[in-house]
Amino acid sequence: MTIDTVTFDVWNTLVVHEFYDDRLKNHRMKSIRDALREHGHSCTCEEIRIAYDYTEECLTRIWQTERDLSNDGHLALFLEGMGLDPDDDTMEIIREPYSCALLDFRPKLVDGAADIINTLKDQGYRLGLISNTGRTPGRTMREVLSEYGLAGCFTAMTFSDEVGHIKPGRQIYDRALKSLGSAPEKTVHIGDNPLLDVYGAKACGWKAILFTKYMASFEKYASKYYNANGRTAEPDYTVETLGQIVDALAALDSKNVE
């Protein structure tokens, strides 16, 4: 079986940022506070912080079950944490400051990301994305990728807030495969996490390539949200740079022929 479909993780595979500290969090909270005050809701910094911590606790429990909430679900949780009614009008007030805070701290492309995407597209591969989104929804990530000129390269982009499930769960991989119109044995997933990307893909019958450049920085952030619970799988190939993917795919294709 010839490989005809390649999917990528997004964070720490195609884009990367250094904001695993409180800069993005603080900016998001301030923007929400300002938006609420502008619309006549008096709220203190402490009330915003309590609401943020409340959503963090709720989301952590949800993510640990490998489910996710829609963007509206996030907004409703935040307003619930503030003691406000999550009606449509109030959710709309905080939608942009909550969902688009990343646009003020734009992630940069990983070295070689644009080159590898365009090379694989030119070689005729069907391309897709599979990404857990955290607090930044898929619609915002599409905007980031569009600004880098990459969004149009993908046949399908599958984000956890839109599916309701996160990697490594089978549901998000199955949704991606259906959107791409491919078969498991013809599909390779590339990502930086042994559990989310390697185990998740291999458990669905896909091939998997592990990209190692940013593994350590992500693990520090993600360990509280994901638990392998003994689940492991070996990648079919490991690469340190995105440029090595072309040779890895060629080698996997030659193994398929054998």
Residue ranges covered by each domain of the chain: 5-18+107-255, 20-104
C-alpha atoms less than 13 angstroms from C-alpha of 255 in its C-beta half-sphere: 12
Q: What is the pLDDT of residue 220?
A: 65
Residue 118 has pLDDT above 80, yes or no: yes
Mind listing the pLDDT tens digit for each residue in 188-213? 999 999 999 999 999 999 999 999 99
CB atoms within 10 A of CB 190: 28
Please give the Cα distance from 225 to 64 (Å, whole number). 6
Question: What is the C-alpha radius of gyration for the chain, rounded to an integer number of angstroms?
Answer: 19
In CATH, the architecture of 5-18+107-255 is 3-Layer(aba) Sandwich (3.40)
Mind listing the pLDDT tens digit for each residue in 124-140? 999 999 999 999 999 99
Q: What is the pLDDT of residue 254?
A: 81
Residue 174 has pLDDT above 70, yes or no: yes
Global pTM reads 0.93
Segment 181-186 shows an average pLDDT of 96
Mind listing the pLDDT tens digit for each residue in 23-76? 899 999 999 999 999 999 999 999 999 999 999 999 999 999 999 999 999 999
Q: What sections of 4-159 are H helices per DSSP? A: 23-38, 45-64, 71-82, 88-99, 113-122, 138-147
Both tokens of 64, joined, read 């640990």
Please give the Cα distance from 177 to 187 (Å, whole number). 8
What percent of the chain clears pLDDT 90, i.e. is strictly above it? 85
Segment 147-154 shows an average pLDDT of 96
CB atoms within 10 A of CB 173: 25
Strand partners, 109: 15
Instruction: Mark residue 215 as left, alpha or beta (left: phi above 0; alpha: psi -120 to 50; beta: remaining).
Output: alpha
